[in-house]
Amino acid sequence: MIALLKRIEEGCAWFGRAVGWATPILVISVCLSVLMVHLRINTLFEWDFTVPLFGHKITMNGLTDLQWHLFAVMVMLGGVYALHTDSHVSVDFIASNFTERTRRIIVILGDIVFLLPFAAVMTWFAWKFMASAYLSHEGSSYDGLADRWIVKAVMPLGFGLLGLLGLARTLRLIVQRILTRGAVAEKKIGA
């Protein structure tokens, strides 16, 4: 059971590790934008067919939108990875004085009281937000990127993964606690 829960946690975090590919694309996009401004170029490429997200061309506004889109993907999926690796913001100077058992109890209670309800509510609203963008064919009104639902789809994905990771972590910590208590009880009986 613990191995399955750990695999679920790692599967959720995989998305955060995979989003690392967005960093070099973001850097290239920023460099292209700076170059286009200095050369006074508005349209970088045009084509005769429709490409998802880009439409029929890549413009200066499209590159600016792309930067925001990539940053949003990195934040939404990177947050799941940060939670998995315990590299998120926490109150370490207080927690460092607690025992391992106390820290685990705080994590379990924090996940149950705060993380899981927050992730559930945000997934629900983010799904509606994305569905609205999809149904209305939302896109840029200033010659930027089309198909805004694509980037908005990362929100329910990110919050859903965050909730799934929190649920798997909570269950794993509870099962580990139960098994640890059982091992201690057996040890006392055998002594």
Boundaries of every domain in the chain: 2-190
Q: Which string of DSSP letters, residue by residue, matches 32-101? A: HHHHHHHHT-SEEEEEEEEETTTEEEEEHHHHHHHHHHHHHHHHHHHHHHHHHTT-S---HHHHTTS-HH
Say if residue 140's pLDDT is above 60.
yes
pLDDT band of 93, cuts 50, 70, 90: low
Would you place residue 171 in the very low, low, confident or very high pLDDT band (cuts 50, 70, 90)?
very high
CB 19 within 8 A of CB 73: yes
Query: Tokens standing for 66?
Result: 């792309």
Cα–Cα dist 104/99, whole Å:
9
pLDDT at 81: 94
H-type helices in 85-153, by residue range?
92-95, 100-110, 116-135, 149-152
pLDDT at site 112: 96
Q: Please, which pLDDT band fits residue 189 given cuts at 50, 70 and 90?
A: low
Contact between residue 130 and residue 155 where contact means Cβ atoms under 8 Å apart: yes
